[in-house]
Amino acid sequence: MGEGDRWRRFEMHRMIFLMRTLVWLAVCLFSLGTRNAGLVWTSWILYIVLVSVLVQFTPLKLDFINPLLIPVDILLITYAIAGTGGISSPLYILYAVEALFLTAYGALRWASIGSLVIILVYGLVTDGWDDKIFWWRAAIIGLYVLFAGLLGTAFRRTQAHVKENYRRLDQIAALKSLQELVVGDESIDVVLATLLQNSVGLVGAQLGYIVQLTAHGVLMPIAAIGMDRTAFKEEGCLYENSMEAWALKRQAVGIHPLKDIGSDIRDHGLSALGISHAAVVALTDTNHLIGMLVLGSNQFVVSATDGALETLAAIVINQLRYDAARKEAKKRGRLLSVLERVGRLVNRNLEMSILLKSLHQAVADELETDSFFVALNIPNDPDHVLMRYLYDDGQEYPLEVLPLTPGGPTASVLAMGEGKIFNGNPEKSQLTGSQKASQGMLVSPLIHEGRVIGAISAQSYQKEYDQDHLEFLSAIASQASIAIQNAQLYQQTQAIALTDHLSGLGNSRHFSLVLPAAIEHAINRQQPLSLLVIDSDSLKQINDRYGHTAGDAHLQMLAQAIQRSIRDNDTPCRYAGDEFVVILPGSRVDEAMAVGERIRQEMDQRFAWRDAGMIGVTISVGVAELKGNMTTEELFTAADRAMYFAKQQGKNQVVAM
């Protein structure tokens, strides 16, 4: 009730109180000169004293005092009528004033009963049952009470309507203030707690809570006041077995007595807290139920139809939307920041190994990852992938070719071209690195120009992933696919630039890059290093007699013989024309001479050339071992001098310097 409405009601009670005082004064004045005058005046004085005392101890409680004094008024008027002539006394008219008081404080039913009492005591004191004047006066009093009662009823209805309007205006003002109060930068927990605190006071509730409905049909509390929301988590309450589901089947906004709930339905302890009624309001977003607002009370000051509960629900929904939008904006902003960072890495690093490590770091900064890998498709081999980068449980593993498990996470993502979440140690999962079982696994395809070129994956041993995590990894993958494709093209271009097109071995540029690094490594590690310089003894004669095509075939045979005779970590190159070099890390001069001898023996034979028959070929090999702090030029000069010495000694031999 508004302050103005309370003041108007007080004015009405005070006016009735003053009218009663005048009624008593009129009774006293009409009693002058009668034998009852002293008693009447004494009563009036006592009335003044009594009222003064009552008002003193119950200030402004006239709405309580006035109805109590109506029977006293009737008795006093009746006594005065008896002392001033009975049926001939004009004081009967004061009964009409009491009828007015009755209609002001009671419904028509109580006013009618009061009028019958007035007629009864009037008849008793005047003994006018047989007098027509008495009955005419009784009829007038009855009609007066009837009309006054009807007017009083209409007045009270108007007052109730006005009161309800004021209540709704106060409610709207409170809801507006509440809406303004919760809009801010506070966390959603603080906002919802504030909402509940004000909602409870607004509707006259003792407690309240807000629950969200998960995709699995479980109610999860997100705010509560007046009760412990952890009870929900301990119960793990399913929506279908809850009071909320029971209530929403009846109406979207309703106030329900808890006594009507069956024993198999959970009310989350509301009955145990002494709550008799629960207001349950559906929280819907785009016609989809996302949760419920529940308020518990023994006496609500609102109804289910006055709109207050719906307005409160709308405020909650708006806050949930605002919080979701804010989180989405933060997530997008964070994602854009990461993508910008990845973009800088892509533009700066074209070396594949550096690129993949940078991608791993970018993902690890945002996701909790224990394992991360980048697997690339192998052309014309759909059953295997190249594990180009693998980090697992704190260790980085060398690249290797792995078989694809049919139906496994990586195989299914590569086949479908869509990212997926695999939580809870998925079956057929490809074991990697430490071979631990993953709790959460994300796999996203690497797609370049509409073609799947591989997959990127993040895994955790402690937690499961959700759709937001997959969206993040997929966004990284979309940019990483471009970077990986560029890095592959760069490597291919670099390989072409460092490869001799005829022999397939490294070219002189490749040799000039590898030899200084190999010498520095050998010196730092104090390990041996040897170099072979190989020259064909027969190329000029073959070119002159059979043509350059035959000479090219001879050089290709020599390159193949070199590759068959060396180790994987040795580096063969075609230096120039018919001259080849082989870098042998970890080999001393005698070991290098043995390698040179294997190559010489394999080449000391004839090969068939078209119609020309068998052509004989030989090679000369020079060997030099790294000594002290020899430079690149010094080591190469020593091996080259040994090769020329072999030619001077008759060719087709291996010589060391």
Dihedral pair phi/psi, residue 561, rounded to 5° = -65, -40
Dihedral pair phi/psi, residue 534, rounded to 5° = -115, 130
Could you confirm whether 578 is annotated as catalytic?
A: yes
Q: Which token pair is 639?
A: 């091996």
**Contacts (Cβ under 8 Å, ≥6 apart) of 411:** 404, 405
Name the catalytic one among 370, 570, 578, 640: 578
CA distances 160 to 9, 45, 128, 356, Å, are: 12, 37, 41, 75
d(CA 47, CA 65): 12
CA distances 336 to 332, 340, 508, 622, Å, are: 6, 6, 45, 59
d(CA 530, CA 623): 7
**Contacts (Cβ under 8 Å, ≥6 apart) of 60:** 10
d(CA 458, CA 291): 32
**Contacts (Cβ under 8 Å, ≥6 apart) of 345:** 355, 358, 359, 362, 483
- Which long-range contacts does 359-366 make (Cβ < 8 Å, 24+ apart)? 359/456, 359/476, 359/480, 359/483, 360/389, 360/391, 362/338, 362/476, 363/458, 363/473, 363/476, 365/338, 366/334, 366/338, 366/472
**Among candidate residues 51, 287, 307, 304, the one with its CA nearest the CA of residue 174:** 307
d(CA 440, CA 421): 8
Please name the residue that has the structure tokens 């890998």: 373
Kindly report the number of other CB atoms within 10 A of residue 192's CB atom.
Answer: 24
d(CA 21, CA 66): 11
Query: Which residues are the active-site residues?
Result: 578
